[in-house]
Amino acid sequence: MPHDQNARRADGRYIPTQETADRAAEAARLKAANPRMTYQEIADAVGYQNKAGAWRAINRCREAVIREAGAELIAAEASHLDDLFVSALEVMERDHVVVSHGRVVLDEDGKPLLDDGPKLAAIREMRMIRESYRKLFGADQPAKVEHSGGVKYEIIGVDPQDVV
């Protein structure tokens, strides 16, 4: 069955229609149910012009499944990071008192002395969790390394005049 010639992306590739997606899914189901079925047999059964069309359709389905599974994994990881961030935020928002030898340390007015250590630790954790978010979603740009100049080789123990 010919493609709609008007249904193309900017890069010239076809935009899949529902019919195209349904045919590809049927080809993938046939291959999954009958692993020994040839791509030509699948092409004939589903209506592709040749075995290459069947193979491409099945491969698109495989890639879509992988993308979907990857998206589910990323969503699950993001949810876990959300939980960690909220826990760290709760620690940061609480007041913590200084304890020494099992007793709360009081200031000169008799009020408990506040300990900033747990808040600072929570802030560090929150920063690390945000870094994990950036890595998970690819927000960090790769480091760009520039190099100019040449490379100088030095052979120790060999007279340069002896090298031909």
| 83-135 tens-digit pLDDT | 999 999 999 999 999 999 999 999 999 999 999 999 999 999 999 999 999 99
Cα 144 off chain centre by: 20
For the residues 20-46, what does the mean pLDDT come to? 95
Which of 7-16, 38-47, 150-159 has the lowest average pLDDT?
Answer: 150-159
Query: What percent of the chain has a predicted confidence (pLDDT) above 90?
Result: 69
Beta strands 99-100 and 103-104, pairing class: antiparallel
- Indicate if the pLDDT at residue 6 is higher than 60: no
- Averaged pLDDT, 136-142: 81
In which band, very low, low, confident or very high, does the pLDDT at 149 lie, cut at 50, 70 and 90?
Answer: confident
Taking the model in full, what pTM does it have? 0.60
Please, are residues 95 and 114 in contact by the beta-carbon 8 Å criterion? yes
* Of 21 and 141, more confident: 21
Burial 90-102 (b: 16+ CB within 10 A, else e): eebeeebeeeeee
